[in-house]
Structure 1
Amino acid sequence: HLRAARPEWNVLCYSGYTLATLRRRGAGAARLLDGIDVLVAGPYRERRPQTHPLAGSNNQRIHLLSARGRMLAPALDLTPPDALNLALGPGGEQWLIGVARGAARTAIHQALTQPAPGEDVPCPN
Structure 2
Amino acid sequence: MGAGDFTPAIVRKAFFDREREACFVCRRGLRWEGRGVEWSAHHRKPRGAGGTSDPRIGSIANLLIVCGSGTTGCHGRIERNREIALRVGLLIPTNATTETFAPAAVRVRRLDKTWWLLTESGRAVEVEEGIPQ
Q: Shorter-chain-normalised TM-score: which range?
A: under 0.3
Structure showing greater Rg: 1
Taking structure 1 as the reference length, what is the TM-score of the superposition? 0.28
Taking structure 2 as the reference length, what is the TM-score of the superposition? 0.27
